[in-house]
Amino acid sequence: MSQTYGKTRWKRFALVMVPGIAATAAVGVAMANNALAASFSVSGQSFKVTTQELHGKNFAQFGSIDAEANGTPHPIAVSAFDSATIKGLCQSVVTDPNIIPGLPWKLPKITLRLEAGYSDDVAKQVSAKNLLIDLDQLNADAEFTNINIGQDAATLKGTATENWKGALPGSTKPTGKVGFAQAAEKADLYNVQQTAWATSAGTFTLNGLKLNLHTDGGHECY
């Protein structure tokens, strides 16, 4: 069974699953085109991600909570892929250096922009294994194969889901996977725009990685 939701309100729910993965690129800057274990968040701050295409296998999604920089709980959707291939990945985050204590000078806000995988050759695109994404917004066009919407989160399968160790802010005890969830054998996403809070992967391979710092405003992925 294959279900396509296109530009319907379903996409906002079902697509939140995807590519916060791009954020993981930041951890791999010094590693260039090598695979690495990666975990990335921006000190309780959200970041923007776009991808031209994302093709993932064994997808699952369920709700959880992250903490903002001030410790305020923030509801998110956890999206899990056992494996994923990404074409045209862009991740950006805007930081204010003036919040760092003790700086003797005033600096402009800095936009960190990362790009990778801009190739029609799958071998030169971005790939990830055991990918987990925390996000709260996503727009895209999507197609799911053999999707089950409304599944009990406690029954989710897959190596990425099993590796999830989420906990409520201020607690080291896992919350467990409870409540409403969805799962699909395969997910194909196009023209993705998303806001993510954190992402992690067992391995993340970033082909054609580029990093730029901008101090003249703008330059976010969207």
Count how many domains the chain has.
1
Is 175 a domain residue?
Answer: yes
Is 124 a domain residue?
Answer: yes
Is 105 a domain residue?
Answer: yes
Class of residue 145 by CB neighbours under 10 A (exposed 0-12, middle 13-18, buried 19+): middle
Is 220 a domain residue?
Answer: no
- Tokens at residue 173, please? 């005890």
Using DSSP bridges, classify how beta strands 35-41 and 2-4 pair: parallel, antiparallel or unpaired.
Answer: unpaired
- Tokens at residue 21, please? 């993965």
Model confidence band, residue 176 (pLDDT cutoffs 50, 70, 90): low
Cβ contact 133:79 at 8 Å: yes
Question: What is the pLDDT, as a whole number, of residue 57?
Answer: 97
Per-residue pLDDT of 15-50, as tens digits, reads 333 333 333 333 333 333 444 455 555 657 889 999
Is 179 a domain residue?
Answer: yes
Question: What is the pLDDT, as a whole number, of residue 190?
Answer: 97
Per-residue pLDDT of 63-91, as tens digits, reads 887 777 677 778 888 899 999 999 999 99
Q: How far is CA 17 from CA 153, 166, 169, in A?
A: 14, 16, 21
Is 47 a domain residue?
Answer: yes
Cβ contact 141:6 at 8 Å: yes
Cβ neighbours of 181 (radius 10 Å): 23
Is 132 a domain residue?
Answer: yes
Is 206 a domain residue?
Answer: yes
Which residue segment(s) compose the domain that 38 sits in? Answer: 2-214
> Best-predicted range by mean pLDDT among 62-71, 113-122, 194-203?
113-122
